[in-house]
Structure formats: structure tokens, C-alpha cells
Amino acid sequence: MKLEIMLRIVVVDDEPLALEILDGYLKRIDNVHSVSLFANTREALRFLQNQPVDVLFIDIEMPEMTGIEFLNELTDPPLTIFTTAYRDYAFEGYEMGVVDFLLKPISFNRFKQAIEKITEFLTLKAQNINIDDNPAFRETDFIFVKSGVQRIKLHFNDVTHIQGLKDYAIIYAYTGKILLKGSIKAMLDIFPHDRFIRVHKSFIVSIQKITRLERNRIVLDGYQIPIGRNFKNNLEKALNI
């Protein structure tokens, strides 16, 4: 039976028109349980500290408190999507572990993609997949992961990259995405160091899958991965550039 993910959503933006547009978009999404709109950041903070919320859409540039300052006020923020008119904040968003970054004006199709990304994450999370810690299921070319009573073989060659998100790691593989409980740092102990390298606070990539570098990002198999400032030198050494 397919799991139905119903989302409790908060939208924070000091512009009434922006709130109206996103509220209209959310009314067109089937799996939305509730929507709470806030133009005042302090009111939104109080709500989030007392109510369960799955997703936060928040503008970055606001007069009383920026979206970044807002997130820093939360001890356990919900899955967060930045909405902003300023493209330069994309890198900072990745640093803070946001799920997506929507550039205004936001089209409905792009908004829907962000909701689908959230829904996919929560669906994968519900599958409760873990690394099999039995040494008999550890090899040099693959590992097994456990999903209930099933064991699934995951070949390292099939993995393009790994993304850390909150307390989980999303493994991107040709066979599909796998979500594991654990930090991005913990994944470094599982994936071979001669094949995979950490390039950002939230990303590990397969070295052989890198097709090109563009200033502060990596392009691989259609994905664009940011390069963190503290990881750039190690990446260049690994690629001999």
C-alpha cells in the first residue's frame, strides 16, 4: 500500500503578495494537510516552537529578521525551502541544509517540484532503511542495506553522490535513491576513500562520476553539486588539478 504523506506547512514572508501566491499554489497541491501564513517572523517563531510542522517556506531578505537568522533561532527546524529574489543566497542555503532554493518569481511547476522533493524525502524516511552491519555483507565493491526483512545490494559504482539532510543521508544511485539514518560524516566511513570524496558540508561525490568543474560547483550526471570553501583544496588534489 502506498504511503500517503500529508504535509503541515508554514510560509513566512513579509510581502503579502508573496504569501498570497504561495497560498494559492498550496491550494493546488493534494497532499497538504494545513497551511499557516506569517508576515511577522516573531509570530512565526512562536508558532513553530509550539506546533508540529513538516515544511517551512521562508523568504531570506526580511526587515525584522532574515530567513537565515530565523533558522538559527530554531533548535530543530522543519524541512526548509528558501524563497528569495536573490540568487546569491543559494550557496548559503546549502550550507544550512535547506532542501531547496526557489528564486522569485516562482512558477507553479518549480514550486511543485520542491513539494515533490519534500514528499519523496519523507516517503524514503518512512521505509526505515539501514546499512547492514553484518561483516559478511561488507565487500570492496558493494554493501548491503536493510529494509525490513529485505537486504538490498548497493554497488559503489552505481552511486553518483550522497547528500546530507538533517540526520539523514540521501544516496543517489542509478537504481534509485536510498535514504539512510546517519550523518554525512558517518557515510565517509562506509564509502571507499579512493572512490568518494567530501566536497561540501552536505555532499560526498563519486570521483569518477565528475564530468566537469565550474568555479564553485561540480557537474556530474546532470546534477550540480556545490563545492565548499574548506573542501576545495582536497578536491583539486584528488583530481590532480
Q: Is 169 helix (H, G, I), strand (E, B) or coil?
A: strand
Measured CA to CA, the distance from residue 56 to residue 40 in angstroms comes to: 14
Residue extents of the structural domains in the chain: 7-126, 129-238
- What cell was used for 227? 563545492
Q: How confident is the model at residue 3 (pLDDT cuts 50, 70, 90)?
A: low
CATH class for the domain made up of 7-126: alpha beta
Bridge partners, 52 (sequence order) = none
Are 7-126 and 129-238 equal in CATH topology? Answer: no
Of 12-26, 29-43, 90-104, the range with the lowest mean pLDDT is 90-104
pLDDT above 90 coverage of the chain, percent:
56
Confidence (pLDDT) at 93: 66
pLDDT (tens digit, 9 = 90+) per residue, 180-238? 888 898 898 889 989 999 999 999 999 999 998 888 889 998 888 999 889 999 998 88
Measured CA to CA, the distance from residue 12 to residue 88 in angstroms comes to: 20
pLDDT (tens digit, 9 = 90+) per residue, 177-191? 999 888 898 898 889
CATH class for the domain made up of 129-238: mainly beta
> Distance from CA of residue 4 to its chain's centroid?
20
Q: How confident is the model at residue 241 (pLDDT cuts 50, 70, 90)?
A: confident
Sign of torsion, CA 155 159 164 166?
negative
Mean model confidence pLDDT for the chain? 88
